[in-house]
Chains A and B, each alone.
Chain A
Amino acid sequence: MSIKPGRNIRNRFHNIWMLICILLIVLMPVILAFGLYFKASLLLSDNSVFSLLFSKDWQPSKQNFGFYSFILSSLWITILSLAICAPVCLLSAIYLTQYARSNVLKLMHPVIDILAGIPSVIYGVWGIIVIVPLIANHIAPLFDVETSGYTIIAGAIVLAIMIIPFVLNILIEVFNTIPEQLTEASLSLGASKWETIKFVLFRKAFPGIISAFGLGLSRAFGETIAVLMVVGNVVKVPKGIFQPGYPLPALIANNYGEMMSIPMYDSALMMAALILFVVVLLFNFASRFAITRFELRI
């Protein structure tokens, strides 16, 4: 008999290790959420969730912690950046997968990967050097606005460029997985290429497009360094795209470990992190929901 003793035990043991690894991954978000909630509970015991979320009053020294202006800044920047990035990514992905020769796509892949790999600090610096003055000197005057350039729109542009490679990669993948025969079927029914893209490919790709944008949105919402470098960081409810903002991640990054002598401040920052966490979670659920709803219809 050549079978080694203990073979079965070893076999089962390997399985257990794999299971532990998966458990770790699954538990991670749960642990994170609980940790944040635990830390923020101090603040939550003194204030209602509603007043924390919708109060504009941010005066830590007076124990006033209203997150409204931060939440709104974050939403403004994120949604604006997605609005910039979405059409660019969609049109590029359609061009690369439907019109361009296949070696153009091969050439683009490393370019996209390089863009994705650039550290966010570099995007931030580039934003300060290029985008901020561009807005202050050229774009804002077009709308009769005077600004330093450190604005919501600057943050949104930098952010859009940062998530483009990320979203574009997913979209290319989505369009590439559509079988060619579906295109041929539509063409053979007398549809033009553009009609085929509009009525068939776009519908087929729709769930994938939504999930790409959903992931992009989550990523944009949490992006910190590059945004805080160009967005101005003024605690005020933004009233337009040419005003400065102060998104949630910037609040945490700027202040954690700084003014910890102020009571509750630590807890307030954890609350900010918790809000961030929950909103990203909501984005994910919303896009999942949209996808499953749509997939039932096609």
Chain B
Amino acid sequence: MNNHTKININNVNLSIGKQHILKNINVEIPEKKITVILGPSGCGKTTLLKCLNRLTDSYEDINVSGNIFINNKDILKSNGDITELRKKMGLLSQRPYPLPMSIYDNVAYGLKISGRKKKRFLNKRVEHYLKQASLWEETYDRLKEPASSLSIGQQQRLCLARGLAVDPEIILADEPTSALDPLSSQAIEEKFIHLKQYYTIVLVTHILRQAKRIADNIVFMYLGEVIEQGPAESFFNNPKMEKTKAYLSGAFN
């Protein structure tokens, strides 16, 4: 494992009931790069992503084996504070789910939860992260309005801001543009390219073109298995596996 590997997924198997969803997953995710998990729908991309911050804990009849090392610590084995683990990762889901509170409180939520309640500190942080998510210009005069009053593209940027506000090291994004219009999608993609200098980004998508646009590193999954992984350039220009070639040529989706 070299110095630049942020997340190391080692022999992970996951099943829910009798369904074997992830099969022998071995993946290395480099630090401060955009790693795209690519694959057709239902191949286990999202489940793999949820393993990383252990949102899978709340599933019934789930069985996970293997190791996931983050900063050289096995998060599957640790019985420590799971909220600490989750705080290291910002999650962006398929559709934005703003918390049922004001724009301001959405961003301040994570900070308040971890006990940082000083008004001046919060004001500064909220402004900082809204700017980082390119939302400040549109919202600075309506911070007290409910988050649900924003457009869906704005909501997704708000979700990004609130995720960044807990000061994560990793951003997990599960098809974050699938509910957005082209312009909003572009805004999010540009944001990711900008943010990768500070964060390790793991993005799940089934949109090939999106992967081409922003990926540094690709993990291609099919039916619960990792077929091929590596730097984006060699993946797209010089795929090694037959399945990858077929997928890239559009033989299946």
C-alpha spacing A183/B146, complex, angstroms: 18
Which of A183, A187, A203 gathers the greatest number of chain B CB atoms within 10 Å?
A187
Known: A189-B163, A190-B87. A184 touches B101 (CB 8 A): no
Q: Is the CB of A101 within 8 A of B113?
A: no
Q: What is the bound-complex CA distance between A190 and B108, given in angstroms?
A: 12
| Size of interface on A: residues with Cβ below 8 Å to B | 23
Closest beta carbon of chain A to B227's beta carbon, Å: 27
Q: Which residues of B contact A218 (CB under 8 A)?
A: none
Interface residues in B, total, Cβ within 8 A: 30
Interface centre among A190, A192, A203 (most CB of B within 10 A): A190
Report A203 CB to chain B, min CB distance, Å. Answer: 5
- Given contacts A184-B55, A298-B146, A298-B148, is CB(A189)–CB(B162) below 8 Å? yes
A191 interfacial contact with B, CB 8 Å:
yes
**Contact present for A185 and B91 (CB under 8 Å):** yes
How many Å lie between the Cα of A101 and that of B110 in the bound state?
A: 28
Within 8 A of B (CB), among A159-213: 179, 181-192, 195, 199-200, 203-204
Which of B95, B99, B146 has most A Cβ within 10 Å? B99
Contact B146 A189 (CB under 8 A): no
A179 to B50, alpha carbons, bound, how many Å? 16
Is B15 in the interface zone, CB < 8 Å from A?
A: no
Q: Mark B199-236, 1 if CB is under 8 A from A, else 0.
A: 00000000000000000000000000000000000000
Indicate if the CB atoms of A188 and B99 lie closer than 8 Å: no
For the complex, is A102 an interface residue (Cβ under 8 Å from B)?
Answer: yes
B55 to chain A: closest residue by CB: A184
> What residues of A have a CB within 8 angstroms of the CB of B153 in the complex?
none
Consensus secondary structure, chain A interface = helix
List CB contacts (< 8 Å) of A9-63 with chain B: none
Beyond A184-B55, A184-B93, A185-B97, whether A191 also contacts B113 by CB under 8 A is: yes
- Residues of A with C-beta under 8 A to B242: none
Residues of A within 8 A of B97 (CB): 179, 181-182, 184-185
Whether the Cβ atoms of B86 and A189 lie closer than 8 Å is yes
Smallest CB gap from B89: residue in A: A188
A297 interface residue, CB < 8 Å from B? yes
Q: Which residue of chain B has its CB nearest to the CB of A178? A: B100
Most buried by B among A101, A183, A199, A296: A199
Report the Cα distance A298→B101, complex, angstroms: 5
Given A102-B60, A298-B146, verify A185-B84 contact (CB < 8 Å). Answer: no
CA A298 – CA B100 in complex, angstroms?
Answer: 5
CA A101 – CA B100 in complex, angstroms? 26
* Contact call A188/B53, Cβ cutoff below 8 A: yes
Which residues of A are found within 8 Å of B186, using beta-carbon distances?
none
Task: Check A189–B110 contact: CB distance below 8 A.
Answer: yes
Task: Determine whether the beta carbon of A190 is less than 8 Å from that of B101.
Answer: no
Question: What is the bound-complex CA distance between A200 and B147, given in angstroms?
Answer: 13
Q: Which residues on the A side are within 8 Å of B86 (C-beta)?
A: 187-190
* Shortest distance between the CB of B89 and any CB in chain A (Å): 7
Chain A residues contacting B84 (CB-CB under 8 Å) are 190
CA distance A89 to B211 in the complex (A): 48
A186 to B109, CA, bound (A): 9
Which residues of B63-116 have CB atoms within 8 Å of chain A's CB atoms? 83-84, 86-87, 89-91, 93-95, 97, 99-101, 109-110, 113-114
Which A residue's beta carbon lies closest to that of B102? A297
B163–A188 CB distance below 8 A: yes
Q: Quick one: closest B residue to A185, CB to CB?
A: B97
Q: Is the pair A190, B55 in contact by a Cβ cutoff of 8 Å?
A: no
Residues of A within 8 A of B146 (CB): 296-298
Residues of B within 8 A of A199 (CB): 99, 109, 113
Contact B100 A187 (CB under 8 A): no
Contact (Cβ within 8 A) B99 A186: yes
Closest 4 CB pairs of A and B: A190-B87, A188-B91, A189-B110, A298-B100
Residues of B within 8 A of A (CB): 50, 53, 55, 58, 60, 83-84, 86-87, 89-91, 93-95, 97, 99-101, 109-110, 113-114, 146, 148, 159, 162-163, 166, 172
Residues of chain A having any CB pair with chain B under 8 Å: 101-102, 179, 181-192, 195, 199-200, 203-204, 296-298
17 residue pairs A–B, Cβ–Cβ below 8 Å? A181-B93, A181-B97, A184-B93, A185-B91, A186-B99, A187-B86, A188-B90, A188-B91, A189-B162, A189-B163, A190-B110, A191-B83, A191-B109, A191-B110, A195-B113, A200-B100, A298-B100
Known: A185-B97, A189-B86, A190-B110. 18 other contacts (CB 8 A): A102-B60, A181-B93, A181-B95, A183-B58, A184-B55, A184-B93, A184-B97, A187-B55, A187-B58, A189-B109, A189-B166, A190-B113, A190-B114, A190-B166, A191-B113, A192-B83, A203-B100, A298-B148
